[in-house]
Amino acid sequence: MKRRLLLGCLALLGSLYSFSQTDNLAGDWRGVWTNPAGFVFSAEMTLQAGTSCKTCALTGADSVRGKIIWTLRKVGMNASDDYAKKIGMTATEYVEGEMKCGGLVVLNGYDKDDPNGIIGIDKYRLAISDTGQIIGGITYNNGSWTGQFIGKRVQF
């Protein structure tokens, strides 16, 4: 009788456990951001989520935190000469957000380390592929939602 009860409890606990989608998001990504004005940045993004994120546990199981290291690769035709001289410079944006249902990732920039003044703080609405290898979507881009980001998981 005790054995049946124990097995029943284990089966119930097993059915309540679900693998968090955020675990599929955690890790290193490389990508590109563009906008219609012709600006191009390369990105190295590191995200912590699910069980890999110790600070996320305080805000919820679907929380995501990370950073994006941006490198300016190309400026638009209307960029100033001073800004064009910054090609190749880098800045770091710190992001936080959450994984929504269906693989939608909502990230918001909240701080930056940008001594050369090459980036703003952005908002992201991204989708992760079913395979967990590709992430992409749109960004706020100063209110127009015309920025585009696409990234691929870094394979070691």
42-59 burial, b for 16+ CB within 10 Å, e for fewer? Answer: ebbbebbbbeebeebeee
Q: Considering the domain boundaries, does residue 8 fall inside one?
A: no
Q: Report if pTM > 0.85.
A: no
Position 11 in a domain: no
Q: Is residue 112 part of a domain?
A: yes
Query: What does the pLDDT profile of the chain (156 residues) look like in tens digits?
Result: 544 433 343 333 332 233 344 557 899 999 999 999 999 999 999 999 876 666 665 556 688 999 999 999 999 999 999 999 999 999 999 999 999 988 899 999 999 999 999 999 999 999 999 999 999 999 999 999 999 999 999 987
Q: What one-character DSSP code corresponds to residue 132?
A: S
- How many domains in the chain? 1
Distance separating alpha carbons of residues 31 and 41, to the nearest angstrom: 9
- What CATH number should be reported for the domain holding residue 76? 2.40.128.120
d(CA 81, CA 115): 18
